[in-house]
Amino acid sequence: MSKINSRDQQSGESKSDSRRDFLKQSAVLTGAVLTPSIALKAAEAQWDEKLAEALEKIPLKLEVNGVSKSLMVEPRVTLLDLLREQLNLTGTKKGCDYGQCGACTVHVNGTRVLSCLTLAVMQDGRKVTTIEGLAEGDQLHPMQEAFLKHDGFQCGYCTPGQIMSAIACIREGHADSEEEIREYMSGNICRCGAYPNIVNAIVEVKKGGKKV
Amino acid sequence: MIQFQYTRATAAKAALDAISRDKTAMFIAGGTNLVDLMKRGIVSPERLIDISRLPLTDITTEGKSLKIGSLALNSTVAENKTVQQKQPLLVQALNAGASAQIRNMATVGGNMLQRTRCHYFYDTALPCNKREPGSGCGALEGFNRMHAIFGFSEKCIAVHPSDMSVALVALDATVVVDGPKGQRRIPFIDFHRLPGDRPEIDTNLLPGELILGVEIPDNRFAKNVHYLKVRDRASYAFALVSVAAALQIEKKVIRDARLALGGVAHKPWRLSEAERALVGKPVSESTFREVAQLAMKGAKGFKYNEYKLKLTPNAIIQALKVASKLV
């Protein structure tokens, strides 16, 4: 504690309620319990604060819905939180945040994954497609059209994940029967119970034979 | 999730070097279990070493065995034509696990290393010897519906959640690892361990070791296999009980057999004695009933999982019937 105080005095900073100060104080108060992050180590070692902050974030290049992005992220940020909080793409939903519901399903390099269990930094250089990236201008994706036509939702919260998963289900070649669709869509939970209509929508898109 | 440092390894040697320098570091590959555990504060590594881009994804046949890289995705293995032809039991087990999205992320090595889904392990407010050694086992006298009937200890009655591992233990797989002691080979049956007095240790993998892959010897079971998974819903749920059954049948007589259970022990539970009892016997329901009783030797239920003492033999009989095409 005294080290930090003396450093603050030297730099002439007044005590602020910034996150950095909070972290520093937390480090001192609960240092035995918390695992030190770089920032905390920096505080202990009296490193330059700006350097510590820069070290915490890692550069990340992603192509999101066809647009190249150069970003800085903390390694602990999930792809889901990056999309929603930093890129304002809130179409991808946070349902359980623990990989149990499928609401956060997106495509990475064309395959469906759970963005809530994906660390954004691990996807460096890859192409991410979210529900916002499906339509071409005003022209909805065939799966979006089919969900509307078959009433494949009630509250709509699981729908972006359902649609991303449904497209992948056809691409993977696992939409050849209603039974197969149900099995390969089981990672997307719908609390409203729109399952029969979701299956009908997928069957129709599959039968329609359009490229998805 | 607490902050951690992130390092991406581009070669296995670099990954091993990195982990040898930092005892608090962990490898991350698919992350489907580790990210979940980190969010809940159950594990909190100071450094993650990303091994997901290491070139350990190949699926090849070499001599009389199938080699699968530890970083091959569960979905890639399940869709691979050679695996489907040579080891259909493994494909069935993989497809019974998790969801399509998770299988697109999870790796073979990570699947083996996933932690138990015991609620007491997951709830940091409750005692758990696996999460916090010495804190006690909440499940022993608690809500133990999902728990072990074989091989448990007073310290821990949790079960291993992997489906893939049940098939791999039945198929006599070998795990190939590299680490401070150099490369070594671990028979799959010795890879996971029973809880004993140290339930916090799930496997016999040593600190700083990296799984390179698994090898499965060729066999003559491909025509008669079945992976039966009994769970609370039709898909996307952990097993209450699962059975991996593989038979070699000639003229309605069993010539060779492999049998293992999931959801009943701290490790995938191989039934070697039951396998030996099947050899030379005719394919019939009565054979399977006898063997299922033999398989249950030593089983013990707790307050809420006694149903497994009935469910397990019935599941064994059903898996053997389907594998032998009696039904």
The full set of domains in chain B, from first to last, is 5-52 (3.30.43.10), 225-323 (3.30.390.50)
Q: Are B51 and B7 in contact (CB under 8 A)?
A: no
- What pLDDT is attached to residue A24? 43
| Pairing verdict, β B253-262 and B47-50 | unpaired
Judged by DSSP in three states, B25 sits in strand
Task: List residues in chain B touching A: CB distance below 8 A.
Answer: 1-6, 8, 24, 28, 31-32, 35-36, 38-40, 44-46, 48, 50, 52, 75, 98-102, 104-105, 234-236
Residue B3 to residue A165, Cβ atoms within 8 A? no
Judged by DSSP in three states, B184 sits in strand
- What pLDDT is attached to residue B316? 99
| Pairing verdict, β B269-270 and A58-64 | unpaired
Residues of chain B with pLDDT under 50: none
Which H or E run contains B240? strand B239-250
| Integer Cα distance of B273 and B109 in angstroms | 28
| Integer Cα distance of B256 and B251 in angstroms | 13
pTM score of the predicted model: 0.91
pLDDT at A8 over 90: no
Helices A2-11/A19-30 angle, 10° precision? 160
Q: Would an 8 Å CB–CB cutoff place A114 in contact with chain B?
A: yes
User: Between the CA of residue B183 and those of B55, B175, B176, what are the distances in Å?
Assistant: 17, 10, 7
Buried b / exposed e along B103-113 (16+ C-beta atoms within 10 A): bbbbbbbbbbb
pLDDT at A47 over 70: no
Domains in chain A, please, with CATH?
2-56 (no CATH), 58-132 (3.10.20.30), 142-208 (1.10.150.120)
- What pLDDT is attached to residue A56? 85
Amino acid occupying residue B36: D
Instruction: Give the angle B8-B10-B11 at the CA atoms, nearest 5°.
Output: 130
Amino acid occupying residue A188: N
- What pLDDT is attached to residue B36? 98
Interface predicted TM-score of the whole assembly (ipTM), two decimals: 0.97
Count Cβ atoms below 10 Å from residue B117 Cβ, excluding itself: 15
Residue A184 to residue B1, Cβ atoms within 8 A? no
- What pLDDT is attached to residue A18? 47
pLDDT category of residue A32 using cuts at 50, 70 and 90: very low
Place of tokens 């699947």: B111
| Integer Cα distance of A183 and A188 in angstroms | 10
| Integer Cα distance of B41 and B128 in angstroms | 14
Q: Are A80 and A90 in contact (CB under 8 A)?
A: no
- Nearest neighbour of B104 by CB, restricted to A113, A186, A188: A113
pLDDT category of residue A38 using cuts at 50, 70 and 90: low
pLDDT category of residue A49 using cuts at 50, 70 and 90: low
> For residue A104, how many C-alpha atoms fall within 13 Å in the half-sphere facing its CB?
22
B298: left (phi over 0), alpha (psi -120 to 50) or beta: left
Residue A117 to residue B36, Cβ atoms within 8 A? yes
- What pLDDT is attached to residue B8? 97
Give the mean model confidence (pLDDT) for residues A39-60.
Answer: 66
Give the mean model confidence (pLDDT) for residues A74-100.
Answer: 98
Give the mean model confidence (pLDDT) for residues A101-116.
Answer: 98
